[in-house]
Amino acid sequence: MATATINGKRDVVLTRWRNNAVVTVSSTIHGKGVATTAKPWSKAQKQHSQVPVPTSIQLYNANMGGTDRMDQNINAYRIGIRGKK
């Protein structure tokens, strides 16, 4: 995690999380605090391990389903627009 101050007013917390894909989230509300822990499978150790999950990533994962559904609907119901030549 990295923090930056903009105009001396508010800190921006940048969080990069690697699960199946790399996700970068920026937040001015959620700080560096860790909300919960996750239990991913480790191939090297061949067991579950405890990994701390930042608050911003937990909220991103909780609300990501709506974004996926929106992308699915846009691709399924795209309106064809043809320009006049």
Provide φ and ψ at 23, rounded to 5°.
-125, 130
pTM: 0.58
- What is the gyration radius of the CA atoms in the chain, in angstroms? 19
* pLDDT average per 10 residues of sequence, the chain (85 residues): 60 79 81 76 84 83 77 78 69
pLDDT at 4: 57
pLDDT at 64: 76
Concatenated DSSP letters of 25-76: EEESSS-S-EEEEE-PEETTTTEE--EEEEHHHHHHHHHHHHHHHHHHHHHH
CA separation for the pair 39, 53 (Å, rounded): 10
pLDDT at 74: 81
